[in-house]
Structure 1
Amino acid sequence: MIRPISTALATSAFALAALPALAQDANLCGGIGENAQWLGGEEVASDISTAPNYIEQMALVLMRNEYVGLFTVSEPGDYRIEAQGRGGGDTVLDVRNAEGVIVASDDDSGGNAASRAETFLAAGTYCVSMRSFDGSPITGFVRASRMDQEALTEGFVEQQDNSVAGECNLSMAQPITLGEPVANNWSVQNIYSLRLDGPTSVSVTAENPDADPILTLFDSSGNWLAENDDFDGLNSRIDMSEPLPAGEYCIAVNLYGDENVPITVTAKEYDAQEVLMNLYDRGEASPPLDGSHPVDALGELQTRLREDVNVSGDAIWYSFDVSEGGLVLVEAIAQGNGDPVLAMYDDLGRQVGYNDDAGGSLDSLLTVRVQPGTYLVAVRQLDDQTQGFIRMVFERYVPARP
Structure 2
Amino acid sequence: MLITFVATLPVVADYEVDIDLGTLPEGNTEISGTTALVVDPGPPEVITGGRNNADLVTGEGMDLNTAANWGNEYVIQFTLAEPANLTFSKDSEFAAGDPDFFLVAGLSTEFDVDLGKNVAQEGIWYHFFDSPAPDQGSMALRSGTYYLVVESFVGFDGAVNQVDATFSLNLNVLPADWPDEVTIDLGFIGSEGNPLTFDTFGSSFDTQLAIFSFDGNLIQENDNAGEGLQSQVSIPEGLDAGTYIAVVAGAGATFDLGPITTLGGAVGDVVLNYPSNPNLGPGAGTSTTRTSVGTEASETVWFEFTISLGPPLEFVDLGKIADPGVPLQLHTLESLVDTQLAIYDEFGYFLYYNDDANGTLQSLIDIPEGLTEGMWFAVVAGYPSTFLDGFEVGAGIAGGSYSLTHPNGIVPMVLEPTQPDWYRFEVGDPGNGGGNDPSRIQITSLTFNPATNEFTVAWDGALPGPFSIQMGSARDLAAIDPQDNVLPVTAAVGLVASPVTLRVPESLELEPKVFLQVVGIAP
- Normalising by structure 1, report the TM-score: 0.30
More relative contact order in 1 or in 2 (CA 8 Å, sep 6+)? 1
Higher-Rg structure is 2
- Normalising by structure 2, report the TM-score: 0.25
